[in-house]
Structure 1
Amino acid sequence: MKKQYNVGILVYDFIDILDFAGPSEVLSLSAFSNFEQNIMLYKRTLPHRKPFHIKTVSETGNPIKTHTGTVILPDYSLNNAPQFDILIIPGGPLRAVNKVIKNRKIIDYIIKSQNIEMICTVCTGSLILAETGLLKGKVATTHHMALSLLNKSTGIRVVKDKKVVKDGNIITSGGVSSGINMALYLVEKLVNKETAHRTAKILEFNSYLESELMEG
């Protein structure tokens, strides 16, 4: 039996849509075989037998509004969310991120998830993860305009020339669209390289390059 992963994407007011929609689309459209992947393009609903199952979680479970005004209804609140195998922390404008950083309930939730299969961040989501202390002693990256802010967190080796950086069970990615790169890398690490490249081809995404990756 091929392993399947339950993925939780943390959502909060004013997050950037592509930060969570990009990884969600990549992981949702990955499949164990070329046949299964092609079938997805014709069906209205996704099959149950696939590598990743995606759910969203917010602090309260109430609808949240993205940076551009789109409203999202989360699947779970922090109180009723299951234990995910993978947690993805998207980014957003700094005022929104700073509000999350000050939210002890969210920070504690992330800390309690530290031993799951993978914790991933997109763009300025790494600033949220830095607040938990889980990036201490690790290599990480973020959006180029937030590198100096991540540098202020002690004990983090910040890199600026890689889109995706993995250190232990933590993966950080550089900018808004790099969440797509991160998710494809996740597919490669947890399923296989052939599936990652096949998924990138389905999405017609041509920027999945090994030169953009770094493992700490």
Structure 2
Amino acid sequence: MRVQIVLFDGFDPLDVLGPFEVFHAGGGFSGGAVTVELVSVEGPREVPSGLPAVSLTATATLDPAVADLVVVPGAAGSLSLDPAVEGSVAALLGRAGSGPLTPALRDAVGRAGTVVATVCGGSLLVAHAGLADHRPLVTHERGADLAGTAALPVDARVVDDGDLVSAGNVTSGIDMALYLLEREIGPQVAHAVEGLMCHERRGTVWRATGAAVAVA
């Protein structure tokens, strides 16, 4: 499984590094069945995060044609939901979504065999681009109602809608990565990574399967 984690100016480092470490360790425990790389839509470059003095290096170009899994992080900034506030998460996500990243993500969402996973505000980026219309999605609690989009908000830590998987607040990205490692590679590898990181997943992954909730 080839994993590409997307960097854009203002990204949240933990949204990136949590899943990166899970998939990197998964590659080691699976004999190389998982590879993970940091990418940007512009190609190899140093990408500043939303936290001062923290940047990461994209070593390749985002390419949904070769990626089995594309991970979209959120942004790190002030929690204002007003995109006019400079340095706010809304402004950073809006800036990222207005450039060439959205067409690349549209290609990833529309490509058979490619899974798109979002962490925290990455769900808002995808939803506001119209790429999660009428599909269940979770994001950061500050934007949990997914206002202004046609996505269907779900109150869960991780939501699995097949080729679109989403996670809520920052650390849930680690849970999501472990879940995807279990789903795509197997529970033994996921369990080994969980033990290595001393991290125990929380909550039930929400899926639109089984009996619907009925209140008597």
Partner of 1:100: 96
Separation in 2, partners of 1:22, 1:52: 15
Structure 1 residue 20 corresponds to structure 2 residue 3: no
Separation in 1, partners of 2:163, 2:187: 18
Separation in 2, partners of 1:203, 1:65: 26
**Contact 1:88–1:120 under 8 Å retained in 2:** yes
TM-score w.r.t. structure 2 length? 0.82
Partner of 1:214: 206
SS of aligned partner of 1:87: strand
Match of 2:118 among 121, 134, 138: 121
Separation in 1, partners of 2:21, 2:105: 23
**Residue identity opposite 2:177 in structure 1:** A
Separation in 1, partners of 2:56, 2:64: 16
**Contact 2:134–2:152 under 8 Å retained in 1:** yes
Match of 2:25 among 12, 22, 29: 29
Greater relative contact order (Cα < 8 A, sep 6+) = 1
Separation in 1, partners of 2:65, 2:131: 21
| Alpha-carbon distance, 1:126 to partner | 0.5
Separation in 2, partners of 1:121, 1:25: 16
TM-score w.r.t. structure 1 length? 0.82
Residues 59-103 of structure 1, C-alpha deviations (whole Å, 9 max, x = no match): 32321111223122211235x786211100000122211111211
Matched-pair identity in %: 25
Which structure 1 segments of 5+ residues have no match? 38-46
**Residue identity opposite 1:166 in structure 2:** D
Match of 2:105 among 97, 104, 110: 110
Size of the aligned set, in residue pairs, is: 191
| Alpha-carbon distance, 1:215 to partner | 1.2
Partner of 2:188: 194
Separation in 1, partners of 2:115, 2:64: 17
Which 4+ residue blocks in structure 1 deviate beyond 4 angstroms? Answer: none
Partner of 2:60: 76
Q: 1:191 to 1:77 in 2, by over 3 A?
A: closer
**Contact 2:139–2:169 under 8 Å retained in 1:** yes
**Contact 1:57–1:81 under 8 Å retained in 2:** no
SS of aligned partner of 1:67: coil
CA RMSD of aligned residues (A): 1.9
Separation in 2, partners of 1:128, 1:184: 22
Match of 2:133 among 132, 136, 159: 136
**Contact 1:108–1:132 under 8 Å retained in 2:** no
Partner of 2:71: 88
Which structure 2 segments of 5+ residues have no match? 76-88, 209-216
**Residue identity opposite 2:106 in structure 1:** I
Separation in 1, partners of 2:42, 2:64: 10
**Contact 2:120–2:170 under 8 Å retained in 1:** yes
